[in-house]
A and B are shown apart, each in its own frame.
Chain A
Amino acid sequence: MQQQRFERLARALVPSLYRYAYWLCRDRAFAEDLVQETLLRAWRSLDSLREEAAARQWLITILRNEFVREITKRRDTVDIDGLALADPRANVGGSDTDVQDVRRAMWKLAPEYREPLVLQVLMGCTTQEIAVTLDLSQGAVLTRLHRARNQLREMLGTGGTHFGEELA
């Protein structure tokens, strides 16, 4: 019973969790490890998950905690800055130019702007959920999302103005 529940969750959420992990660490192997550990931890405390609807947010939180834990652990042993810049041409799919341009622009964003955007666009999180995950106020999340898009528009040459930036 528990195994079936776990499998259902895993099959539904592993792809998006892997993508989220990749956008956190920019390393395929690391991303796989993160998802793997996340799912393992999730299974161990699956009983604490009351509603299936909360699973995505629950797993995101576990994965993010695991990422922070791993980064802290690796800080003394590997070059984290190097990791963040690892293999920008890694085979992560999407060969068309526009996709590559947007990805390059995404990697140029500061992590504090990139992550809320990934959570919103990729994971479908609400600003309230992002605020909880990142331990920020909802206002701060709105500001970061707004600034992230403004910077992307500028990098991709689509933005005319930074209208509204002064309010953010």
Chain B
Amino acid sequence: MSTAITCLDVRRIAGAEPTRRDAAVAEHCRSCAACTAFVRELSALDARLERALQVEVPEGLEARIVLDASLKHARRAWQPWLAAAASTLMVVALGYAAYLHQHPQGDDLASAVVGHVENKGEADALLPDRALISDASLVQGALGGAGVAVEGRLDGVTYAQTCLFRGERVAHLVFRGVNGPVTVLLLPHIHVERVMPVDEDGFHGFIEPMGRGSIAIVTRGSTPMEPMAQELVRKVRWTL
């Protein structure tokens, strides 16, 4: 079957694709000097064109681009991880801060309790000659202000106040003990996992978990505190 093509076809084909090896074009060119010259001319033009298009590539461009892409890729690849890590760290830090606030370490909390008890504003609470509070409603009021309720009656209270402790309201009570006053802080917002001893600035005692909160009991004297703690645990409940 003949694949004969015309001069027009040859010029159309060669004009668009001079390097194309087309059997029909070759066949035509064998008997057509004009088309042969045309194809040669276009091939020569393409050779010139190929040289002219080879603009000089900046020295070291490949290495520079590879390095840059590597660095950027590495940075971008790490960015989400770093952002996630930073967010996680922030959440952990905030969580830990909140945890410490709610679950303070023993030493830290013990110091804070003693610091509060020694505070100048509270100092007269420990005066040995303080009278007992006969009006139970005063005690109830001080407890209620801190979100604390008591079932029954608390005896031997010489001081009852709602105080701010670490930014939260707490109930501050002082009991007349057999061997010196005993201070009790009812801490509805501070939870401890276990009983923590207090031994600082002459005060001794402990902080005991109670539901979602805790009770701190300290004294400079030698009044037994365990029975007092048991009574409080039995009678006190958190209302907030």
| Interface positions of A (Cβ within 8 A of B) | 3, 6-7, 10-11, 14-15, 18-19, 22-23, 28, 32, 35-36, 39-40, 43-44, 91-94, 98-99, 102-103, 106, 117-118, 120-122, 127, 141-143, 145-146, 149-150, 152-153, 156, 158-159, 163-164, 167-168
Q: Which residue of B lies closest to A14 (CB)?
A: B62
B228 to chain A, nearest CB (A): 69
Asked whether B45 lies within 8 Å of A36 as measured between CB atoms, the reply is: no
Interfacial chain B residues near A28, Cβ < 8 Å: 58
Chain B interface mostly helix, strand, loop or mixed?
Answer: helix
Q: How far is the CA of A10 from the CA of B76 in the complex (A)?
A: 19
Interfacial chain B residues near A118, Cβ < 8 Å: 53
Q: Which residues 11-68 of B sit at the A interface, judged by CB distance below 8 A?
A: 11-12, 15-18, 38, 41-42, 44-46, 48-58, 61-62, 65-66, 68
Asked whether B15 lies within 8 Å of A35 as measured between CB atoms, the reply is: no
Q: A14-B61, A39-B69 are in contact. Are A19 and B16 (CB under 8 A)?
A: no
**B70 close to chain A: CB less than 8 A:** yes
Q: Provide a sorted-by-A list of 20 A–B residue pairs whose CB atoms are within 8 angstroms.
A: A18-B57, A23-B55, A35-B65, A36-B69, A39-B66, A94-B56, A99-B51, A102-B51, A118-B53, A121-B46, A121-B49, A122-B50, A145-B15, A145-B16, A149-B16, A149-B18, A150-B15, A156-B48, A158-B44, A163-B8
Q: How far is the CA of A142 from the CA of B57 in the complex (A)?
A: 29
Interface size grouping (class) on chain B: 35 or more
Interfacial chain B residues near A103, Cβ < 8 Å: 52
B73 to chain A, nearest CB (A): 5
B52 to chain A, nearest CB (A): 4
Q: A18-B58, A167-B8 are in contact. Are A106 and B15 (CB under 8 A)?
A: no
Interfacial chain B residues near A98, Cβ < 8 Å: 48, 51-52
Asked whether A14 lies within 8 Å of B65 as measured between CB atoms, the reply is: yes
**Which listed residue, B15, B50, B56, B57, touches A146 by the CB 8 Å rule?**
B15
Interfacial chain B residues near A121, Cβ < 8 Å: 46, 49-50, 53
**B212 close to chain A: CB less than 8 A:** no
Q: Which residue of A lies closest to B10 (CB)?
A: A164
Asked whether A11 lies within 8 Å of B62 as measured between CB atoms, the reply is: yes
Asked whether A32 lies within 8 Å of B58 as measured between CB atoms, the reply is: yes
Q: Which residue of A lies closest to B76 (CB)?
A: A44
